[in-house]
Amino acid sequence: MTPGSDGGRRPGGLSRRRLLAGIGGVGAVGMASGLGTGAYLSDRETFPNNVFGAGEVGLTVDGDLTDGTVTVGPFAVDRTAFDDRPKPKGFEVGASANPVRVWLATECSDGDPLGEALEVEVVVDDGDSRESLTDGYRPLAEVERLLATGVRIDDGCLEAGPDGGSIAVEVAPYLPADSPDVSGKATGLTFRLYAEQCRHVSEERASAPGANPFADDGCEQTCVPCEDENDVKVGSLTLQYLGDDPATVVVVATSGGAEGVGNGGTIVFNGEVAPNGTFVVNGANAGTNTPGWIGPNIYVDDGGSDDGSEGNENGGGNGNGGGNGNGGSGGGKKPAGVKIHTSCSESLRVGDVYGGLYEIVAAATTDDEPLCGTGAK
């Protein structure tokens, strides 16, 4: 297991051994969980028309026998700089009866509201080497999908007993300083463990393709990511207005590189919005060459921007008050208000907040597929 470069933030890819072992595994085993509970399970060797049980298989978590799932957390969720991120939490896996091979998998998310905001790295350490199973920090929801199909974490059988060693599983959480404000919320990461006795199943069989016990347990991804300039076309956004007073909000969509209302921009929303109220920006009338597409950018103005300057995710037109009635200025100037990239050249997610005033609470593609983000997986 070898770490990579990039100052520890993005360790190197998985080793060849790990990739091969991750799709291997056969035999009888158990799931690990419920700290303090215990169970011994028989491994099995399969022969034509017969199954023979032989020996005992047992796993421990932090020294206690376990037979179900292990949850790491809850994590303290506060936005920080990367160098100030919290210390990892985790557990140690041991063998209680006979030498075993061990597989680890995550549970699929059930819609955790921190799924896209909180980043985690999962590292295993057998005492001789360390390896990142996630290839660095990734959003929690992505990690749950990535590891749901399982990976083998022992390095050639874990010996039993107090002198047999252990495998440490560490989860390092990190909420970037520029993330949506989700302070006060808590979450954890749940794992499943599977063990197989070494002496009755050969390493060749344990590493054979298709033998991974979690291979068919992948998570269904029911959302579409908008990032890295992919082919996703944003068709609608539902925004929540975070201002303190009612305002007339005007949204201008720009297309084809034209920035001003008088030079290709189109008003796609113009209406009164109450504090914490929501409004929908729909691409049906944006006039783009792709039916239903909002376009590459929209500008959202509550009347506080009077200089036609471009807003951004960290600032922009922040006033409360009446709208300007046209959403922007003509003559080729950029529309007033906070700019939101809707071309997917920059990541756009449900839960993102722009200019401190507008939070995306729902989003869909032109094909009515939900976009990924906080609470959507």
With 80 as the cut, is the pLDDT of residue 208 above it? yes
Highest mean pLDDT among 7-11, 67-71, 355-359: 355-359
Q: How confident is the model at residue 210 (pLDDT cuts 50, 70, 90)?
A: confident
150 occurs within a structural domain = yes
Share of the chain above pLDDT 70, in %: 71
Highest mean pLDDT among 18-32, 251-265, 296-310: 296-310
Give the DSSP letter of residue 368. S
Let me know: does 328 contact 338? Beta carbons within 8 Å. Answer: no
370 occurs within a structural domain = no
321 occurs within a structural domain = yes
89 plus 45 within the same structural domain? yes
With 70 as the cut, is the pLDDT of residue 329 above it? no
45 plus 192 within the same structural domain? yes
Q: Break the chain down into helix, strand, coil percent, rounded to 5.
A: 10, 35, 55
Let me know: does 116 contact 148? Beta carbons within 8 Å. Answer: no
What tokens were used for 357?
A: 């005033």
Q: What is the mean pLDDT of residues 223-239?
A: 84
Q: Can you give 58-125 as a three-state secondary structure string?
A: CEEECCEEECCEEEECCCCCCEECHHHCCCCEEEEEEECCCCEEEEEEECCCCCCCCCCCCEEEEEEE
More confident position, 311 or 77: 77
Query: Among 31-35, 298-302, 370-374, whose mean pLDDT is lowest?
Result: 31-35
161 plus 79 within the same structural domain? yes
Q: Can you give 143-189 as a three-state secondary structure string?
A: HHHHHCCCEECCCCCECECCCCCCEEEEEEEEEECCCCCCCCCCCCE
64 occurs within a structural domain = yes
More confident position, 88 or 114: 88
More confident position, 108 or 305: 108
240 plus 199 within the same structural domain? no
Residue 264 has what pLDDT?
Answer: 54
228 occurs within a structural domain = no
Q: What is the mean pLDDT of residues 256-283?
A: 75
With 90 as the cut, is the pLDDT of residue 181 above it? no
159 plus 283 within the same structural domain? no
With 60 as the cut, is the pLDDT of residue 62 above it? yes
Q: What is the mean pLDDT of the chain?
A: 74
- From residue 324, give the alpha-carbon distance in Å to each of 93, 248, 316: 63, 8, 16
Q: How confident is the model at residue 229 (pLDDT cuts 50, 70, 90)?
A: low
Nearest Cα to 187, choosing from 92, 109, 87? 109
247 plus 138 within the same structural domain? no
Which domain range does residue 361 map to?
234-365
Residue 242 has what pLDDT?
Answer: 93
More confident position, 361 or 245: 245
With 60 as the cut, is the pLDDT of residue 250 above it? yes
Q: Report the alpha-carbon distance of residue 102 to residue 269 in Å, rounded.
A: 55
Residue 332 has what pLDDT?
Answer: 53
376 occurs within a structural domain = no
Residue 203 has what pLDDT?
Answer: 87
Residue 43 has what pLDDT?
Answer: 39
More confident position, 182 or 240: 240
Q: How confident is the model at residue 22 (pLDDT cuts 50, 70, 90)?
A: very low
198 plus 294 within the same structural domain? no
The answer to whether the bond into 74 is cis (omega within 30° of 0) is yes
217 occurs within a structural domain = no
β 41-47/130-132 pair status: unpaired
Residue 274 has what pLDDT?
Answer: 92
Q: Report the alpha-carbon distance of residue 70 to residue 107 in Å, rounded.
A: 10
What tokens were used for 335?
A: 């529309």
End-to-end CA distance of the chain: 30
Residue 34 has what pLDDT?
Answer: 28
Give the DSSP letter of residue 373. B
What tokens were used for 48?
A: 């034509």
Q: Report the alpha-carbon distance of residue 142 to residue 164 in Å, rounded.
A: 33
Q: Report the alpha-carbon distance of residue 124 to residue 30 in Å, rounded.
A: 20
Q: Report the alpha-carbon distance of residue 247 to residue 303 in Å, rounded.
A: 7
Q: How confident is the model at residue 376 (pLDDT cuts 50, 70, 90)?
A: very low
Residue 115 has what pLDDT?
Answer: 79
Residue 152 has what pLDDT?
Answer: 94
Q: Report the alpha-carbon distance of residue 270 to residue 282 in Å, rounded.
A: 12
Phi and psi at residue 206, to the nearest 5° = -70, -20
91 plus 30 within the same structural domain? yes
Count of residues making up the chain: 377
168 plus 110 within the same structural domain? yes
Count of structural domains within the chain:
2
191 plus 260 within the same structural domain? no
Q: Report the alpha-carbon distance of residue 38 to residue 153 in Å, rounded.
A: 21
Query: Among 34-48, 87-101, 355-369, whose mean pLDDT is lowest?
Result: 34-48
Q: What is the mean pLDDT of residues 132-138?
A: 92
Residue 68 has what pLDDT?
Answer: 63
The β-bridge partners of 249 are: 271
24 plus 116 within the same structural domain? yes
71 plus 162 within the same structural domain? yes
Phi and psi at residue 82, to the nearest 5° = -60, -40
224 occurs within a structural domain = no
Share of the chain above pLDDT 90, in %: 28
